[in-house]
Amino acid sequence: MTRGAMAMNRVQCQPGLSMVESMQQYGAEATCYRPLYRARWPQGFRCPACNERRRSRFRRGAQVYYQCRTCRHQTTLLSGTIFQATKLPLRTWMLAIHLLTSTKTSLAALELMRHLGVNDKAAWRIKHKVMQAMAEREAPRQLSGFVQIDDAYLGGECNGGKPGRGSPNKQAFPIAVETDAMLEPPAHAVIEPVRSFDDESLKDWQRRHLAPDAEVFSDGLHGFRRVADAGHAHTVLETAGERAACVVRGARWVNVLAGQRQTRHQRELPRHWSG
């Protein structure tokens, strides 16, 4: 998530604010800065280059600069946000965000132009930037680095010794866990149901949840082999009659999350069941 999206997240944190209330809160230029400052630096200033807290402040023209005491990096409240380099008053942006996010249906750029009193070019640019930041905020988490993937069925793996894969009425979901290079505790996990483990569903899942740099560890499940086709490095944890996930250290976190208790007789499954 970019800083722009993050800042907007918090700026927009009062749902149901009426237009009048919004104008009172953000109507004066100066009052736009405080919520934005809090949104960007909720625990007080942090140097974007080195994370230092101590800074000095100075003015150049109308712009307030913050300079890091340690690395001398200079920044402004707006740099790195969607408001960077804007020539429009912040209150215009705040009103635009209010208008674009408080209606269920998308507000037309021409309407925005009328409400904000800006030209059509500016209205389009504002709409584009705000919608982009919103889309980023809504985007599903993408896992990167080392990612362990396993397949599971809700309720299907552990009951009564029956193989879970392919059973009717079971919800299929890939379990993916991002680890560091030492394969240590999961930083993030994605557990989201898919229609089934067919190629199309898995491809769609990968597109949404795997960052381009992700390197994938999995057992030989047919669909997961396709992650290599999608340009991801893929290490197949080969099985020797037993589920790789049970024995290979690289996959233990997916096991922990899947809560799988597998025995040998549960694993007598076709290798390419999905094909």
Sites of contact with Zn ion (CB under 5 A) = 47, 49-50, 52, 68, 70-71, 73
Shortest approach of Zn ion to residue 53 CB, angstroms?
10
- Contact by Cβ (8 Å): 8, 82: yes
Shortest approach of Zn ion to residue 250 CB, angstroms?
38
Nearer to Zn ion, 70 or 103 (CB): 70
Shortest approach of Zn ion to residue 58 CB, angstroms?
15
Nearer to Zn ion, 52 or 199 (CB): 52
Nearer to Zn ion, 14 or 70 (CB): 70
Nearer to Zn ion, 75 or 266 (CB): 75
d(CA 38, CA 119): 30
d(CA 84, CA 239): 53
Place of tokens 């100075």: 58
Checking DSSP bridges between strand 55-60 and strand 63-68, what pairing results, if any? antiparallel
Nearer to Zn ion, 12 or 75 (CB): 75
H or E, element range at 115: helix 109-116
Residues facing residue 55 across a β-bridge: 68
Shortest approach of Zn ion to residue 6 CB, angstroms?
19
User: DSSP per residue over 57-80, as a string?
Assistant: EEEETTEEEEEETTT--EE-SSTT
Shortest approach of Zn ion to residue 243 CB, angstroms?
49
Classify 173 as helix, strand or coil.
strand
Shortest approach of Zn ion to residue 65 CB, angstroms?
13
d(CA 265, CA 231): 35
- Contact by Cβ (8 Å): 116, 96: yes
Nearer to Zn ion, 52 or 136 (CB): 52
Nearer to Zn ion, 68 or 82 (CB): 68
Shortest approach of Zn ion to residue 69 CB, angstroms?
8
- 243 by Cβ neighbours in 10 Å (0-12 / 13-18 / 19+) ranks as buried
User: DSSP per residue over 190-217, as a string?
Assistant: EE--BS-SSHHHHHHHHHHHB-TT-EEE
